[in-house]
Amino acid sequence: MLEKEIARRRTFAIISHPDAGKTTLTEKLLLFGGAIHVAGAVKSNKIKKTATSDFMEIERQRGISVATSVMAFEYGGVKINILDTPGHEDFAEDTYRTLTAVDSVIIVIDGAKGVETQTRRLMNVCRMRNTPVMVFVNKLDRPCKDPFDLLDEIEEELKIAVRPLAFPIASGPDFKGVYNIYRENISLFKTIDRQTVAESETLTIDSPELDNYIAPYTNRLKDDLTLVEGVYEPFNKEEYLAGRLAPVFFGSAVNNFGVKDLLDCFIEIAPPPHSSQTETREVVPQEPKMTGFVFKIHANMDPNHRDRIAFLKICSGVFERNVPYLHVRSGKQIKFSAPHAFLAEKQSLVEASYPGDIVGLHDTGNFKIGDTFTSGEKLKFTGIPSFAPELFRYIENADPEKYKQLAKGVDQLMDEGVAQLFTSTLNGRKIIGTVGALQFEVIQYRLEHEYNAKCRWEPVNVHKACWIESDNAAQLADFKKRKYTNMALDKHGRDVFLADTSYALQMAQEKFPDIRFKFTSEF
C-alpha cells in the first residue's frame, strides 16, 4: 500500500521569470486534473511592478499564496502535487526553500524572450540539488526565436544538456502546431473563435495529407526533425533523472496547446519521491515510520487569529490525523486534529498523507522552518538553505512601550523566513538582512498590523553577510578579534562576518585561508 502510494506521487514546482506563463500553465494543468473547472480560477501570484508600496496588494497576494501554495490533483492515476513559488524576485528565498521540497521542476520559458535572469538563478538552485527539470517553451502563438537557437540558449544559459521531445512548426501568425517526437504524431494549432483546437493524433510525419495542413512548412519540418535526430542523442531517462538532461516541449499555455503532451510525458518520466538526507542517516520514503520537515510557514492574515500554517513535507511513512508525532526540536509529542491537504481552491481535512504530500499544520507560533516531525526518532533533515542576504538595515523600536510586541513580531517573522536577524557584536544592535527591498516594507507593515509594534529603519553599511567556520581555532579567534567591528551572531548564535565591501570580503578570504566563508547556511 505505502509502496504503491509513493510510486504514484509526483511533487514538483513550476518556475519561470515573471510573465513567462507560469500561472497560465498551472491553471491548464489543474483543468486537466479536474481540480478546477473554469479558466481564471488561479489568481496570478505576482506583485505588479507598480505595487511595490501598495500594502493592500501585498496582503492580497498573501491571501492568494495561502490558497495556491500547494495544488494537488489526480491525473491518469497519478497524484500530482504542484508547489507554488512566488513570482516576485524579492521573494526568491521562499522559492529556493520550496525547491527543497520538490522531486522535480518544470521551467517555463517565453519563446520570444528566451532565458531570462530569474530562470537562470532558479536553475542554479536546481543544479545544486541535481533536481530533474523539464522545459516548456511557451507563447509559440507569438513570433518566437528560432527553435534551434532557443535550444542552444537553454543549454548554454541554464548549463544543462537538452533533448527536444516536441518540435514546433513555425511560430506567431504562421504557427501550425507541434510535432510530438516522443509519441511521433502531430498536433495542429487552429484557433476558431479564439478557441484552440488541437487536432489529429493520427497525423504522422509520413501522412500523405500532411501538406494540406502545414504547407509551406512540410519540408522544413522534415529537415528540422532530421537535424534534431542528428544533433541530439536519443532521450535518456537516466540522464534526466540525474538532473543532467532537460527534455524540452513547445506550446502555448494560454491556448492550452502542447500542455497535454507535456503533462502526459511528465507523469510517465518524472520521479516519485526520493530519499532525503538527515544529519545522521538517509531516510527512504518506503520506511514505515513517519518523518517530515517544515519548509514553509504562513501567517494568518487576520490579526485576531494569529495562528499560522506550517507546511510539512512528508518524507517517509504515513502521516495520520490524531496520531502523536515527535517535534524533534522541542522534544514534545504533538498530535494534530485538523491537518489539511491542499486541493486547488479549497483545503480539506486529511486522514492520511504519504511521502511527497504536503500537509498543512496549525501552529500557534511554536514551529520554525526546518523543524522535523517523526514517529519518535530524533532526526534533523539537512539541506534547507538560508541564503546570505544582500540588503541590510538596523531595526529600531519606534514605540518604547511596545518593546515586547516588537521582539515577538521580529522573532516570529524570522521563523517564517521573511528575513534574517543578526546581532552586532560591537554594539548589540539588531540588523535585519533580506534578499529584496520589498521585505523591509513588508516587515514594517506586518509588525504594525499583526503585532501592534512600530519599527524604524536606519542605514548600516554592510555589503554581504557570510557565515564563518574553521578547523583552525587560533585563526578563527584571531579573525574575530581583528574584525570585531564587523562581527555579528545570527539567530542560532552562529558567527557571521558582515563585510562592508566586496573588497574587504576578498581581502579577508585571502588573509585567512583556513576560514570557510559560507554564503548559505542551514535552518
Minimum CB–partner distance for residue 54 and ligand G4P (Å): 18
Minimum CB–partner distance for residue 86 and ligand G4P (Å): 10
- Interacting stretch for ligand G4P, rule CB under 6 A, among 16-24, 29-37, 259-267, 323-331? 16-24
- 403, containing H or E segment: helix 403-415
What whole-number distance in Å separates Cα of residue 188 and Cα of residue 190? 6
- Interacting stretch for ligand G4P, rule CB under 6 A, among 133-141, 180-188, 308-316, 485-493? 133-141
Q: Which is nearer to ligand G4P, 138 or 353 (CB)?
A: 138
Other C-beta atoms lying within 10 Å of the C-beta of residue 124: 12
Closest CA to 488 of 499, 501, 476: 499
Minimum CB–partner distance for residue 23 and ligand G4P (Å): 3
- Interacting stretch for ligand G4P, rule CB under 6 A, among 21-29, 158-166, 358-366, 423-431? 21-29
Q: Which is nearer to ligand G4P, 199 or 239 (CB)?
A: 199
Per CB under 6 A, the list member of 5, 6, 13, 16 interacting with ligand G4P is 16
Per CB under 6 A, the list member of 10, 11, 44, 355 interacting with ligand G4P is 44
- Interacting stretch for ligand G4P, rule CB under 6 A, among 15-23, 401-409, 414-422, 469-477? 15-23
Per CB under 6 A, the list member of 142, 298, 429, 516 interacting with ligand G4P is 142
- Interacting stretch for ligand G4P, rule CB under 6 A, among 90-98, 179-187, 220-228, 248-256? 248-256
| 3-state DSSP percent of the chain in helix, strand and coil, to 5 | 30, 30, 40
- 347, containing H or E segment: strand 346-349
Residue 273 binds ligand G4P, judged by CB under 6 A:
no
Residue 262 binds ligand G4P, judged by CB under 6 A:
no
Q: Which is nearer to ligand G4P, 139 or 176 (CB)?
A: 139
Burial class for 351, CB neighbours closer than 10 Å (0-12, 13-18, 19+): exposed
Beta bridge partners of 516: 469
Instruction: Tell which positions 60-119 bind ligand G4P, by CB under 6 A.
Output: 87
Other C-beta atoms lying within 10 Å of the C-beta of residue 312: 27
Per CB under 6 A, the list member of 97, 139, 313, 368 interacting with ligand G4P is 139
> How far apart, in Å, do the first and last CA atoms of the chain sit?
33
Report residue 207 CA to chain centroid gap: 42
Q: Are 170 and 178 in contact (CB under 8 A)?
A: no
Closest CA to 14 of 220, 270, 313, 291: 270
Q: Are 357 and 319 in contact (CB under 8 A)?
A: yes
Residue 254 binds ligand G4P, judged by CB under 6 A:
yes
| Apex 286 CA angle, 297 and 263, nearest 5 | 70
Per CB under 6 A, the list member of 9, 18, 28, 61 interacting with ligand G4P is 18
What whole-number distance in Å separates Cα of residue 72 and Cα of residue 82? 6
Q: Which is nearer to ligand G4P, 144 or 453 (CB)?
A: 144
Minimum CB–partner distance for residue 46 and ligand G4P (Å): 5
What whole-number distance in Å separates Cα of residue 436 and Cα of residue 223? 47
The strand ranges marked E within 84-227 are 104-110, 133-138, 161-164, 166-169, 177-180, 185-192, 195-199
Task: Print burial letters for 127-164: b (CB count within 10 Å at least 16), e (below 16).
Answer: eeeebbbbbbbbbbbeebbebeebbebbeebbebebbb
Hey, CA dihedral for 228, 18, 347, 272, is it positive or negative? positive
Binding mask 22-41 for ligand G4P (x = CB under 6 A): xxx-----------------
Q: Which is nearer to ligand G4P, 21 or 168 (CB)?
A: 21
- Interacting stretch for ligand G4P, rule CB under 6 A, among 17-25, 157-165, 272-280, 500-508? 17-25
Instruction: Tell which positions 187-246 bind ligand G4P, by CB under 6 A.
Output: none
Q: Look at the block and give the residue holding cell 500523405.
A: 208
Q: Which is nearer to ligand G4P, 141 or 357 (CB)?
A: 141
- All 3 cell numbers of residue 23? 500561472
- All 3 cell numbers of residue 176? 501550425
- Interacting stretch for ligand G4P, rule CB under 6 A, among 58-66, 134-142, 159-167, 279-287? 134-142
Per CB under 6 A, the list member of 9, 15, 21, 495 interacting with ligand G4P is 21
- Interacting stretch for ligand G4P, rule CB under 6 A, among 18-26, 241-249, 329-337, 412-420? 18-26
Minimum CB–partner distance for residue 251 and ligand G4P (Å): 7
Per CB under 6 A, the list member of 253, 263, 438, 465 interacting with ligand G4P is 253
Residues that bind ligand G4P (CB under 6 A): 16, 18-24, 44, 46, 87, 138-139, 141-142, 252-255
